[in-house]
Amino acid sequence: MTLRHLRSAGALLIVLVFVSACASSQAPRSAGSQAQSPAGSVTGQTAKKQESTRVSEKAGHRETGIASWYGRPYHGRTTASGETYDMNAMTAAHRTLPFGTRVLVKNLENGKTVKLTINDRGPFIKGRIIDVSRKGARVLGFENQGLVRVQVTALGPNDG
């Protein structure tokens, strides 16, 4: 065997060791471990712990922009979080805040505020930062307008 062949065999061996190490790092779950959803997120108690960690990391996140509200066409449908959308609940959709994050939304035109829980993704229209439920829009005083300028602040776990 020539030196060239030895180098090729050595390089192949290194690649094989690396690939097998990567494959073995994903050990099979035991019967008692948490299940995972198709998207790869952990469910059950572990998910609640991870979610609360992410929420506290986002606490204090603040942004200002346009809010809209969504209602009847989506009422009763499944949200991105898996919950059933209720336009009469105190919920909202945000593009990036973790599900379960509590936010304080302030209508900058009239000063009214409301606390909502993020349970969906959106809005998907450029320039909008949050979609609130119809009830949220009613409390904020913009149900008839449809759009309003707001400030959204993510709350920490103790801010309720």
Q: Which residue has the higher pLDDT, 58 or 98?
A: 98
The reported pLDDT for the residue numbered 57 is 59
| Superfamily (CATH) of domain 60-154 | RlpA-like domain (2.40.40.10)
Q: How far apart are CA 116 and CA 105, in angstroms?
A: 7
User: Can you tell me the mean pLDDT for 44-72?
Assistant: 69
User: Can you tell me the mean pLDDT for 140-146?
Assistant: 96
Q: How far apart are CA 69 and CA 137, in angstroms?
A: 6
Residue 50's pLDDT band (cuts 50, 70, 90): very low
132, 123, 107, 118: which is closest to 59 by C-alpha? 118
> Hey, where are the domains in the chain?
60-154
User: Can you tell me the mean pLDDT for 126-153?
Assistant: 97
56, 130, 46: which is closest to 96 by C-alpha? 130
User: Can you tell me the mean pLDDT for 118-125?
Assistant: 96
For CA atoms 37, 85, 139, 131, the dihedral sign is positive
- Reported as type and span, the H/E element at residue 20 is helix 3-24
User: Can you tell me the mean pLDDT for 59-69?
Assistant: 94
The reported pLDDT for the residue numbered 10 is 54
Assigned token pair, 31? 């019967």
